[in-house]
Amino acid sequence: MTGTIVAPLEAGELPDVAAIRGPRLDQLLFITTGILVGVIVGLLASVAWVSTKAQFEESSARFRSQIEQQARELGQTVSHTLSLTSATSLRDNNYAFLSEVARSIITDNPNILRVQIYDADSQLAADSAPDAKLGTPTTRKPKRDWENGLFQGKPIIVYQEPIDYGSQSGQGLVVISYSMEVLQKQLSDLEETKRESLRRNATTMSGLGLGFVLLAGVLVAFQSRRITRPLGVLTGKVMQLAAGDLGARAEQARGAGREVTTLGVVFNHMAERIKVLLEDVRTKAQLERDVSLARTVQETLLPGREGFQAGPLRIAGLVVTADACGGDWWMRASLDERRVVVGIGDVTGHGLATALVATSATSGFTAAMTMRSPEELSAQVLISSLNVTMSHVGRGEHQMSSALAVIDVQTGVVDYASGGHPSPIVYNRLSRQVASLPARGALLGASASSQYASRQAQLRPGDVIVWYTDGLTESRDASQKQYGTQRLAAALQANAHLSAEGLRDAILADARAFSAGLPAQDDITVVVAEFSPASP
């Protein structure tokens, strides 16, 4: 497992922020706020314009209605009065007097443009117009009424009032044409007044709106600059940090808002964390280098993947670590021309410390074989020496299970001992029987005074011995079911025809298939020894 130190960016590797195009933040604030204020002022001005115009139009309509009402009342009053005064003259056929009366009304009231008086036979009896032809009939009915009309191209209101003068033919009729010219002029003056008022209001609102916009622009420019200046300083600090200056810190921003102040505080905290994390990364990288070195040393001390042949005995083993370094180890070596020793061990725990203890155990095992003459060495002597080594190396914090076997390749006698380690499985290819090499003993390293005893067994032609660590049998599948010794025995039986190397690899492959790709929780070690003496 290797790691990469995350180094600060060099100055040349920094992004080219000068090439970034677009408005600055203070410009965006100024533009957007100015547009917003302008829209608000425009809406207020539009509302004021519409409201003022509606008020003027309402006043104009009310004034027109009042003038028309006054004109109707005046015309009806005049027509009613003239109807009463004309009754006697019609009854006496004094039409000349009626014409004088009609002309005098026109003279006294300039708003009355024409007065006509008809008798009961609907014949024109009097007219204020000098060129009117008396006796002209009319289609008007003698009833009180009024209507709009035109007289000489001018708008008028025509009022009519019946005259009851006792004629057997019916009633006479008074018709008065009342001019609306004065009303039209008043309405025109009112409209002009309305337009002038609207212009003044528009000018006033425009001035006020422009003033508001200018005032808002000044305030926005001041406030945006007040906010963005600390952000600019903070941006510079970020660039310093990106350039590798881990001492870059932001000062407390005053008057820029809580968010900007919080951003500065968070930046300082982040810079401290980055500094700590980089130190952690450097420490971790150093640790990974140490672990890599320990793994290299461990792999150097352990036997390779190739099989080891000693007469009719062939041995092959492999350690598969769960981490970068493992706590498992195995060893095989020749004691003399006849005997071969096989050892396997599993140090409790994981990590670098466990790997160092396992490496020390491997070295101690090798050293134990050189401390005495080969004829004095046995499984009991070797495991006792290894226990003393573990007691000094582990100092009570680390213990180890181990199994040792001294095999006489000529006679097939096995001298074996164990310290808390799983018993190896023995399978005979000829009889297809499965057995084990059980032995008892305390875990190595628990006490330097622990006593161990060895036992002997006789190998038969076709026997295959499999040593393993508990990482194999305790590996689990997706349902948390353990691999177990029964499946190991089944894999051994199914692949017993293979060589020692092939059988070792088949057992490991079966364990991987059982775990269905799940990560290993413990180191796994498998050592296979096949005894195949030549037939006599």
Q: H or E stretch including 6?
A: none
259: pLDDT strictly greater than 70 = no
Indicate the average pLDDT of the chain.
82
pLDDT tens, position by position, 115-159:
888 988 888 888 888 888 888 898 888 888 888 888 878 888 888
Task: For residue range 301-328, list pLDDT tens digits in order.
Answer: 788 889 999 999 999 999 998 876 778 8
| pLDDT for 288 | 66
Q: What is the mean pLDDT of residues 8-37?
A: 63
For residue 122, CA distances in Å to 101, 162, 171, 231, 326 come to 19, 11, 9, 97, 135
CA distance 293 to 278: 22
Question: Are the C-beta atoms of residues 380 and 452 closer than 8 Å to each other?
Answer: yes
Mean pLDDT of 343-370: 79
pTM assigned to the model: 0.53
The confidence score (pLDDT) of residue 505 equals: 96
For 481-508, what is each residue's pLDDT tens digit? 999 999 999 999 999 999 999 999 999 9
Percent of the chain with pLDDT over 70: 88
Stated length of the chain: 536
SS3 169: coil
- pLDDT for residue 6: 41
Q: Is 504 helix (H, G, I), strand (E, B) or coil?
A: helix
Rounded distance between C-alpha atoms, residue 510 and residue 524, angstroms = 13
Which residues have C-beta within 8 Å of that of residue 343, sequence separation ≥ 6? 329, 330, 331, 332, 365, 382, 386, 402, 403, 404, 405
Task: Using alpha carbons, list the distances in angstroms from residue 299 to 302, 329, 341.
Answer: 5, 10, 19
DSSP conformation class of 250: P
Mean per-residue pLDDT for 213-218? 77
pLDDT for residue 494: 94
Q: Which two tokens stand for residue 130?
A: 């000098």
Q: How far is CA 267 from the centre of its chain?
A: 21
Could you tell me where the DSSP H helices lie in 482-521?
A: 484-494, 500-515
CA–CA dist 179, 194 (Å, integer): 24
What's the mean pLDDT in 25-34?
Answer: 71
Please say if the pLDDT value at position 4 is more than 60: no
Average pLDDT, stretch 436-448?
Answer: 91
Cβ atoms within 10 Å of 2's Cβ, excluding its own: 9
